[in-house]
Structure formats: structure tokens, C-alpha cells
Amino acid sequence: MQDMMPRVEPVQRTTPAQPLDLGRDTATMPFGLGEEEDSPVPRPVQEAMSAYAQAATAATPPQRQPLTRAEQLMTLTPITIAHDLPAHEAEALLDQHRIGQLPVLGPRGNLVGMVMRPERLPRGFVVRAPRVAPGQSPRASDVMVTPVPAAAPDTQLRQVARVLLDLDLPGMAVTVEDGQVTGFIGRTDLIRAIAQEPPLDLWT
């Protein structure tokens, strides 16, 4: 029986494995990656090795910077209303866009107040009864809350959060020096950032 079994000769020599050189042209790299240059590389292997080299040498994406300023979280081009818009149209806009407040702009386009839902009206803020002429409907300026605080684009988020908390406000407009409204930041924006933006920094 032993004479019928084929004999297995011991291995005399093996080619040692060589480290992968990603800077080398993988299209001419031999299949065995050793010193024997006469073995062509199959096309699928060439493509796989090329893709691997590109992925390994790809640039590392830039790290996300911590969010610290109002302009990084504010809603751009917020919905605003003119001071002379009829009050019932302002209420319709609140319902249409499902929001609780609308910045009111004066004749020069600057922030002059805020129209809010009655249930969103903060403590300490009072909307006086509008003084309108007989036969006229109240305007946004007649039912708005004024004055109202505003944030600058570079206001620290911690300060924004403190004002919203202290005044029990749902949000505030972001304005530049001349009072032009450039954005709006609210409690929802801060809460969403805490949930979705790990680099959020309220302590800067």
C-alpha cells in the first residue's frame, strides 16, 4: 500500500513575500509581488490594486470646526413681514409656515419688533391693544412685541442661549449694525445642534 501512495517531496525553496509599495506602478507589478518580473498581472488584479492604492493615499478630509457663533446655526433668509402688513395676514403666515414668531421690519428694512402667537408670548412681554381708526384693520406694527433683543452674527452661542432662557423667548433675529435682519436663531436650532453637531461648543 505504501508503494502505491505518491511521495511528497519536501519544499526546497520558497520566494519570500515582499512589502507592498503603493508608490509603484501597479499596472506592471507582478502577480507574486516578488522579484520575478516575467509574470504578467491579470487585469482584475491590476484594477483592484490600483483602487486600493488610491484609497490608501487619499487625502484625509478636514476636521469639522466647533460651532461657537450665531451665524453658524442661524436660519438664513428668515421669513419677515413689513410693519404695515395687516395683522390677519401676519397670523396667516404664522399658520402657513408653522412658526411661532415673525420679525417685523420698519420702513428702512430694520428690525422694529416681533409678531408672536399668544401662546408663545414670553412672560413680561405685553401686546397693547391696537389703536386704529374706525373702519381700519390693525397692522403688524399694532400687534407686535417691541422692543425685542437681537443677536449679532458673531454673538457667542452661550450668550444666545442665556438670553433665550432668561427672557423665555423662542428665538431671536440676527441683525447687522444697521438693524438689517440676516438670520434667525431659535431654541430648536440649538437643540438640533446638540443632537446632530458633536463639535457644538457652548462654553467658548
Q: Tell the CATH superfamily of the 70-196 domain.
A: CBS-domain (3.10.580.10)
The pLDDT of residue 32 is: 45
Helices (H), 3-149: 43-56, 87-97, 140-143
More confident residue, 56 or 145: 145
Out of 71-80, 140-149, 193-202, which region has the weakest mean confidence (pLDDT)?
193-202
Phi, psi of 73 (to 5 degrees): -120, -15
How large is the average pLDDT for residues 32-39? 48
Cell of 104: 417685523
pLDDT computed for residue 177 by the predictor = 86
Our CA angle for 76, 113, 181, nearest 5°, is 25
pLDDT at site 93: 92
**CA Rg, the chain, in Å?**
34
Place of cell 488584479: 45
115, with CB counted inside 10 A (0-12, 13-18, 19+), is buried
Length, in residues, of the chain:
204
- On the question of pLDDT at 22 being above 60, the answer is no
- Determine the average pLDDT of the residues in 52-57: 68
Question: Cα–Cα distance between 189 and 89 in angstroms, integer?
Answer: 26
Cα gap 70→158, rounded to integer Å: 9
pLDDT at 35 over 50: no
Stretch 185-203: mean pLDDT, rounded? 76
Q: Give the model's pLDDT for residue 132.
A: 64
Closest by CA position to 197, among listed 74, 76, 77, 73: 73
State mean pLDDT over 142-150: 89
**Domain residue spans in the chain?**
70-196
Band of the pLDDT at 21, cuts 50, 70, 90? low
Instruction: Classify residue 166 as left (phi > 0), alpha (psi -120 to 50) or beta.
Output: alpha
Q: What is the rounded CA–CA span in Å between residue 196 and residue 122?
A: 27
pLDDT of residue 163: 92
pLDDT value of residue 137 = 82
**Top-confidence residue, 60 or 87:** 87
